[in-house]
Structure 1
């Protein structure tokens, strides 16, 4: 045998020696992923309910099989997919925008609520009435082109950090929920965010944070005005005009308007998600409605007031909602009991 053939044979043997263990390792990892598709979830009745529902609805020939086109899953965002305490992230963004807004319009510095916001007194800001907060949101979320708004949000997301964890807000998405989103998509589900937050705001980072593209985000939507810029090119300018309040009953209304199919899975965490879950459960065939209960003060936060947890103005989960969930067979996800890990970072 020539040296060339010896070299070729040796190289082929070496590649085989390397490739076989690599393939075996990949096969093991794939098998583990299939056996445990939700690794950050503890092995509880909640996890079993999710896995069984997915199996029942995706097995062809079963009485509960759901065609892929009808496998729609909707998720609230704040408090369901990422942290909402002590204040909604978008509200913090709006507060952070006030100084630059006042610099552009100095006449606002002595006008409420801008005057109070400029003091930086969070306790005073928290006491502002809803009509003043709405005025603040309208002023900071409109008056610019959609591209300018997207650039501002991207800049804020990249530079701002949560005061407790000192991490970017997009680091504080819940790892178990991101696993669930991926698991559903792997099984032919189409995942949507249905949020009371601003639709344009969430669309900026939804694909990076959750793997959900902008067109699959349904949120509170404001109006836009079509005009032409100085260069003659068409532009859309954001206006302080509410088109859809995507909270409470607005959620099923938004689902009908933007998706056109009733979900078979809906996940939320507060009274603002109640109607979305009711609407989902009212459909024919298999349905899965779930609510996240924040009951882990050490790893995240604890608030309700359901089950004796502290009351809150941000993302309230009332005892009435809890009782409805128990009566109608909705799954209540306990962060403390059902999640082995909350964030991808730390812990």
Structure 2
């Protein structure tokens, strides 16, 4: 299958599935509200360099007398999703969605039950599933993410994210969002910034819950995007069908390219957590005036997960944060958030 057949899911997600499958043996989180005058806008943060960097950035970009003042129209902040706004271990949520949709796909096309890789997935044999090739994983992605109307896909995604739960935490995936980051988004919005999600995940998938989970409208989600085809139903009404054609791989350099294509303004603030976000943070920091580039370092195995391999943390194929990226961040003046040291609590449901 050609590379262009992969829709709304990147190769990093497919590769990460191998790790997930080898390891595997409705309430919605409340959005942080805009703080009232005099209230702490970041109550889930410990005092420290990371918190102060965010406060200083907002102050100097929104104070009219500041030499770093940014006009309201140019106040753009971008956020990666997986590992930056919500949990990404042991695998990306969207790929779990794909795997769990296989039975439904086969029910509509029974002939697939005896065809690989669907036969292996249906078997439930984790060791066999973990050995699926990249081409086979792409086949699963195409079968579960395309060939339906955009409205039908959105309904399926909404249904799944409203009920599917993570095995470790026993919570809806949409509850496993980082409270400190919800507060940052609310704080930025309260100060005139538009907050965008710029993700390697599927654009349509993230749009199905971005408003209710993050307060980010669908038009402010930039993700890996596939093609659509215009057509008419039996009733004569027009609709769009999701096609197995890749339009934008919104990861690595594709994030900066996607920002230009979909937003048209260089961000003044960008938040990420892995090598896939490097170019977005470089692009942000490369602009004139005050810029804020931030990385989340997962170093809290007790409350969430610990992985890198930066700073001697365990290596991972999911959300890799290399030592080289850490060193560049320090050299370039980016802010690195220590989840363990900078966050008082991680999830909205934490006490």
What TM-score, normalized to structure 2?
0.88
List runs of 5+ in structure 2 lacking aligned partners: 1-32
User: Alpha-carbon deviation of 1:55?
Assistant: 0.2
List runs of 5+ in structure 1 lacking aligned partners: 1-28
What CA distance in whole angstroms lies between the structure 2 residues aligned with 1:200 and 1:32?
A: 34
What CA distance in whole angstroms lies between the structure 1 residues aligned with 2:340 and 2:86?
A: 15
RMSD between aligned residues: 1.5
Q: 2:202 — aligned with what?
A: 198
Q: 2:120 — aligned with what?
A: 116
Alignment of 1:63-74 (within 5 A): 63-74=67-78
For the 8 Å contact 2:34–2:187, the answer to whether it is kept is no
Q: 2:306 — aligned with what?
A: 302
User: Alpha-carbon deviation of 1:106?
Assistant: 1.9
SS of the equivalent of 2:271 reads: strand
User: Alpha-carbon deviation of 1:124?
Assistant: 3.6
User: Alpha-carbon deviation of 1:30?
Assistant: 9.4
For the 8 Å contact 2:34–2:186, the answer to whether it is kept is no
Change in Cα spacing, 1:225 to 1:80, as seen in structure 2 (3 Å) is same
1:221 to 225, 231, 236: 225
- How many residue pairs get aligned? The number is 319
Q: Which has the bigger relative contact order, CA under 8 A and spacing at least 6?
A: 2
For the 8 Å contact 2:102–2:118, the answer to whether it is kept is yes
What CA distance in whole angstroms lies between the structure 2 residues aligned with 1:346 and 1:120?
A: 33
Alignment of 1:1-347 (within 5 A): 34-347=38-351
Q: Which has the larger radius of gyration?
A: 1
User: Alpha-carbon deviation of 1:103?
Assistant: 1.3
SS of the equivalent of 2:95 reads: helix
User: Alpha-carbon deviation of 1:175?
Assistant: 0.3
For the 8 Å contact 2:34–2:41, the answer to whether it is kept is no
What CA distance in whole angstroms lies between the structure 2 residues aligned with 1:33 and 1:181?
A: 17
Relative to its length, the structure with more helix (as a share) is 1
Change in Cα spacing, 1:61 to 1:221, as seen in structure 2 (3 Å) is same
User: Alpha-carbon deviation of 1:123?
Assistant: 4.2
What CA distance in whole angstroms lies between the structure 2 residues aligned with 1:279 and 1:333?
A: 19
Change in Cα spacing, 1:183 to 1:112, as seen in structure 2 (3 Å) is same
What TM-score, normalized to structure 1?
0.89
Using the TM superposition, name which of 64-73 and 119-128 deviates more: 119-128
SS of the equivalent of 2:153 reads: helix
Change in Cα spacing, 1:257 to 1:36, as seen in structure 2 (3 Å) is same
Change in Cα spacing, 1:164 to 1:238, as seen in structure 2 (3 Å) is same
What CA distance in whole angstroms lies between the structure 1 residues aligned with 2:265 and 2:213?
A: 24
SS of the equivalent of 1:64 reads: coil
SS of the equivalent of 2:196 reads: strand
What CA distance in whole angstroms lies between the structure 2 residues aligned with 1:88 and 1:31?
A: 32
Change in Cα spacing, 1:61 to 1:346, as seen in structure 2 (3 Å) is closer
For the 8 Å contact 2:270–2:280, the answer to whether it is kept is yes
